[in-house]
Each structure stands twice: as C-alpha cells, then as structure tokens.
Amino acid sequence: MAQIEHRRLGTNGPEASAIGLGCMSLSGIYGEADDEASIALIHDALDRGIDFLDSSDMYGWGHNETLLARALEGRRDGVVLATKFGQVKTPTGQGVDGRPEYVRDACEASLKRLATDRIDLYYIHRIDPKVPIEETVGAMARLVEAGKVRHIGLSEARPETIRRAHKTHPVAAVQTEFSLLYRSEAEETLRTTRELGIAFVAYSPLGRGFLTGQIRDPADLKGDRRGQHPRFLPENFARNRELVGRIEAIARDKGCTPAQLTLAWLLAQGPDIVPIPGTKRRERLEENLGALAVSLSPEEAARIAAAIPVGAAAGTRYPEGGMKAVYR
C-alpha cells in the first residue's frame, strides 16, 4: 500500500487512512454497479493507501459485504473494515432492530458474508427507539469481549445517545452525514465526540455528489435514487446549485476541484474527522485522494464555510420517512 496520512479512530481505536472509501454505491444504490469493476476499484483504493472501508449489511441486503469478501481475499490484514447492523426489512418496508439477540445474530451473519473472523469497527446503523441504547451497546460490548468485534461505533446518534452509549462501552467512532451543505447536526455532534475522545466519520462528505459540481440538472440523476432526495428536487435544485457554484469559484482560485476543496475543508476541521466519500469510478477515487495535498489556511477554511452558511441549503437531507430514523 502507498503511504498516506492516517488518523486514529477514537482514543484507543485503530489508525485509518485520513480518507476512507464508502462502499454503498457498489451495491446499486446510486444506479447500476458492476461487481468486477467494483473489486478493481477496491484494489486500486488499497494500492493507493486507502485502508478504511465502510460497508453495511443493508447495502444490497448482504451483497456489499459479500463483494468486500471477494475484494479482500488475500488482502484482509492491514485493512480497517467497518460494517453496520440494525436496519431490517419489514412487511411495510424498512425498520430498525437494536435488540441484543439481533445484535449477536447480525454480527454472525456479517462475519460469514465478509469471510473474516473479526470486524474492526461495528456500528449500529440506526438507533432503535424501542430498545435502550445501553442494551444494544451492551450486546456489542460482548462481541468485543468475544473477539468478533474490535471497536464499536454509532451512526446517526444524537449527543445524549452518544453519552449513554459511551458510558456503557467506549465508542471509537460516530458516523453522521457531514458536508458543507448539511452540517448543523454534524457540528452539534462533533462537540460531543470531541469532549469524549470519539472520532467523527463523515459520510456523504460531498453532499451525495452535489459538491463535486458534476450534477448540473435534476435530469442528471435519472434512474438514481438521489433524485428522490429533497435537495435534488426541482423546487430545491436551483438554490443548492447556486451554493455549489460558490464552492466551484473558490476551487478555481485555489487550483483544485470542488470535490478536493470540499474534502480538504472537512479534513481541516480537525484530526478527529475522517471523511468516507463513495464512488464507483477510479478517476473520482484519485480525485478524492488529491484533497490530501490541498492545504487550507484558517482564513481560507473560514471563507469556504462562509460561502455556504449553516442552514443555507434547501431541502432536508433525506425524504420524510428517512428523516424520522436519523439523529436519535
């Protein structure tokens, strides 16, 4: 593997590449994906020094983990492998299950699909409001004791939930959406994770692709699930595209791409932040890694933040149903 900057996940967690790879799009979430091309992409990421891979048992409902097992055959050592549990299919769609017995069963199923004997970072994907977080995390702690999980994490948890969880067992990382477009909840969460010595893993750091500057019209998302997200709907698109244009202008001045500027801004917020942009394309992978070479002064970082003030984006970050399941 190539040598790139690494950051520690939590006080006693593993060191991981400062930019990870979010693998959700490799399972057909944002349009079709090709397994062989996806495996080649993961190999390329590893060769370039990205050793932090992020999956979930609900990405393709098992497909993503099986794909990672194929990609990591003979290359598992040295990789910080993260996956998640908790989102489940129900007769009416999707639900959340944080019961201790489900935690155990979900872990066993993920280990089998991943063809590994341990998960480096195991998250609850969404918080189950019907189960005290202490019970869910208590079951995750038993997985750590059994050697099946090395470190635990939470996804989309609000500050009070994080505190309760951390009292039950040390939390290495909290994963929440964090980008220039959507950061009010993330910045509130960040104050708590910093106080407790927990790493912040930023998913969708490029605003689900909006901040790359590549999405210029709602029609660009035909056949893509992002077209259903409020930020991309016609009534919100023009406003958000105008905000992205501000980042494009600063990027031109800086001599980098909008994606690189956006990731560099996140990295500049502190060494406890690790963004995990996802992509299906090698050229985007290379572009994202280029953010590590973009140095921002405090004045430049402040200018970037001021270009898209907190709360300036139009539309919520998920459709109504999805919003009910986040930040709780």
Closest CA to 22 of 45, 6, 48: 45
What does pTM read for this prediction? Answer: 0.97
Q: What is the DSSP string of 276-324?
A: --B-S-HHHHHHHHGGGG----HHHHHHHHHHS-TT-SSS-SS-HHHHT
**What is the average per-residue pLDDT within 184-207?**
97
The catalytic position among 30, 59, 123, 203 is 59
Q: Please answer whether residues 65 and 113 qualify as being in contact, where contact means their C-beta atoms are separated by less than 8 angstroms.
A: yes
Which residue, 313, 218, 305, is CA-closest to 261?
305
Mean per-residue pLDDT, 275-293? 97
Please count the other Cβ atoms lying within 10 Å of the Cβ belonging to residue 217: 10
Helix (H) or strand (E) holding 121: strand 119-124
8 Å CB contact between 121 and 153: yes
For residue 254, what pLDDT is reported?
98
Helix (H, G, I), strand (E, B) or coil at 8: strand
Separation between Cα atoms, residue 121 and residue 14, nearest integer Å: 9
pLDDT of residue 1: 63
Question: In angstroms, rounded to a whole number, what is the distance separating the alpha carbons of residues 185 and 206?
Answer: 16
- Architecture of the domain made up of 6-323: Alpha-Beta Barrel (3.20)
Q: Are 191 and 183 in contact (CB under 8 A)?
A: no
**318 in catalytic set:** no
Tell whether the torsion through CA atoms of 161, 56, 212 and 227 is positive or negative.
Answer: negative
| Band (223; pLDDT cuts 50, 70, 90) | confident
pLDDT digits (tens, 9 = 90+) for 149-183: 999 999 999 999 999 999 999 999 999 999 999 99
pLDDT tops 80 at residue 2: no
* pLDDT surpasses 90 at 32: no
